[in-house]
Structure formats: C-alpha cells, structure tokens
Amino acid sequence: MAPLLAPLDQHNSTLVRNVHPVDWRPPTAAARYNLVVIGAGTAGLVTAAGGAGLGARVALVERDFLGGDCLNVGCVPSKCIIRSSRVFGEVGSAAALGVHVPPGVEADFGAVMERMRRLRARISDHDSVERFTRLGVDVFLGSARFVGPDAVEVDGTRLRFSKAVIATGTRAACPAIPGLAEAGFLTNETVFGLTERPRRLAVIGGGPIGCELAQAFRRLGSEVVLFHSGPHLLNREDPDAAGIVQQAFLREGVHLRAFAQKDPLVEYRGEGHVMFEELAQTIRTEVVFTLFHVTVELEEPGLEPMQAHDGALHYEHETSAGADVIAAAGGTATALATAPSGNGGSFAQAPAVN
C-alpha cells in the first residue's frame, strides 16, 4: 500500500504513480545480488544506478517514496516555495530599484503550493520505479528486514547479497518541549501538504531549514516567530554571515526569540497554540513547524543489528561471526560523520561492488 500524501490531486497522483505505484509487482529475486541498497533517497538512488552502470546485479528497497527527502519533502518542494516567495520579496523592494508596484499585491498561497506539487510531480519521473527498472535495478517496495549476515527480507521475499548499503536517511523527531506533542506540529514531512496559508506560524529551530521556511512563509504573508538557541541564527555558520541573515529577517518582519537554558513551553488552548518562553512572553500561533532534531532511520524492525561504532555501521546479527562492515550513505552517514547525500552514494558504489 502506498504511503498517504495530501492533497491527493492530479499532481500528487502522478507523483505516487511514479515513485510508489500501487499496482507494482516486484520482480523475481536473483539468486544473489552484488549489492542490496536499503533506502531510495538521493544516496540510495545514486548508489543503485551507479552499481548497475558498473555491471553489478542490484536490488533497491524502499518502503515509502523513491526520491526520499530531496524529491518529496525536502530540496524540491522547499526550493519551489522559496522561488515564489523570492518574487514577492523583490516586489517589496521594487521601489528602491525604480519600479513602482501598485499597493495591495499579495501572494496566492494556494497557487504557490499547487505550482510546487506540479513541478515535483514532473521531476519525479527521474526518480521513478520505471526508470530504475530500465537501468537494470530490481526495485522492491516494502520494509527490509535483516534475516542473516548476507540476506534481507522484503514482504517475505529473501534477497541475498555480497554487500549492502544502508541509506535509510533521517527524519524529524519531536523535540522534548512540554506540550508540543499534545498541541500538534508540522515537520518537513507534512508542511508541504498545506493548501491554506497559516495566519501565524511558529518555527522551532534556527538552522538552514527552519530559516528558509520562516522567511518563505513570512514573504507569503504569514506572521512568523522563529525560536532558536545559541547566540545567533545558523549556529554552525560564520557569525558575520549569520548576522546578515538575521538582520534581513528583522527587516522583513520575522520575529526572533532565543531560548538558551530551556525550551519554550507549549500549551494548546483551542484557538491556536500558545507558546511561553523563558522571558514569560506569550505568543499565539496557529501552526508550529519544527525540524529541531533528526533521528537516524535504523529503528525499523530488522535493522536493530546495525550499530554505529567509530563513524561506521557494523552488522551485529547473532548468526554473524565477524561480518563485513556495511556501508552507510546519505543522511544515515551524515548523522555519523559528514557526507552530502549524492557524494555519499558515489563513495559507496565502488567498495560495494568490488
């Protein structure tokens, strides 16, 4: 059964048809694969396509949508929305460039989101089950479960392998903020399903994703408050560069709230979420977005034998005596060390098929 996706319009129907077709029939498994790739995000797709291109017999396993975060809930949808919001941001400063825009111009949030779904659906053909099948990859839709040192099962089908790549990625986890789980919140996995603009939006986390969505929603007309910890936004970036971003946010009307010693409290009061921060200020908002923490996707039943040691994943199944190190790529590897997803997939190809 395909994962749920909202709204189920023609664009999302095309997306599902490409990256998780409900009528897909898995191929007959090979006696043994050179490479089994678990997870079909950017790193998994690069690894699978590269391995097949090198002549390896490759199986690709995905339980949700091929394309992973980048296509479905990350790079593609966020950049589509940012592009629309950038136009509106330029409208606001048009007079300084000698262009006079009539007052009352506003963004059509529903049209912005519809455009995003249309472009995402069009791009999805590149990551489709059909395309990877043409590349010579055996695609299995379902959850992988390790059943031995050289085998996984997907819905009862056993896939034996010489090497395996874990590219299951990461996903947002609920921060330990009292009241947040009860109040409800959006993450990158759900925010792109919005069809109506929230009047008030609270963003928890001043990293790159929190910042880009805070600015985009502000430019599209939402009142936005951005909660962050540390001395400035974008804590991992150069302070001077982060300061430029911070000043731009203030000019555009993004409200910044820092919390250093403890997280803000959240209380649900029917009409919206009321957030209490350290300074005893009260902020009312309709929608809360958070990507404050991410967790590596190794909690799927059957992936528990994967353990992280010294920046690598090791297979510790009870039937395995000194099993090979299993390669990790993409967000899974990034959580252990530092490797962009696409490059991580490329790095995993050669040792996986040799």
pLDDT tens, position by position, 202-244: 898 899 999 999 999 999 999 999 988 878 899 999 999 999 9
Residue 314 is predicted with a pLDDT of 47
Task: Determine the pLDDT at residue 238.
Answer: 94
Q: Which two tokens stand for residue 150?
A: 């050289």
Q: Where are the beta strands (DSSP E) in 135-245?
A: 137-141, 144-148, 151-154, 157-166, 170-173, 200-204, 223-228
Q: What pLDDT does 182 receive?
A: 78
SS3 324: coil
pLDDT of residue 40: 97
> What residue ranges of the chain have pLDDT lower than 70?
1-4, 259-284, 291-354
pLDDT of the residue at 288: 81
Q: Give the Cα separation of 235 and 231 in Å (integer).
A: 7
CA–CA separation, 122 and 90 (whole Å): 27
* 3-class DSSP string for 95-151: HHHCCCCCCCCCCCHHHHHHHHHHHHHHHHHHHCHHHHHHCCEEEEECCEEEEECCE
Query: Are 232 and 242 within 8 A, CB to CB?
Result: yes
What are the chain's domains? Answer: 10-72+119-169+297-353 (3.50.50.60), 173-293 (3.50.50.60)
Task: Provide the pLDDT for residue 92.
Answer: 84
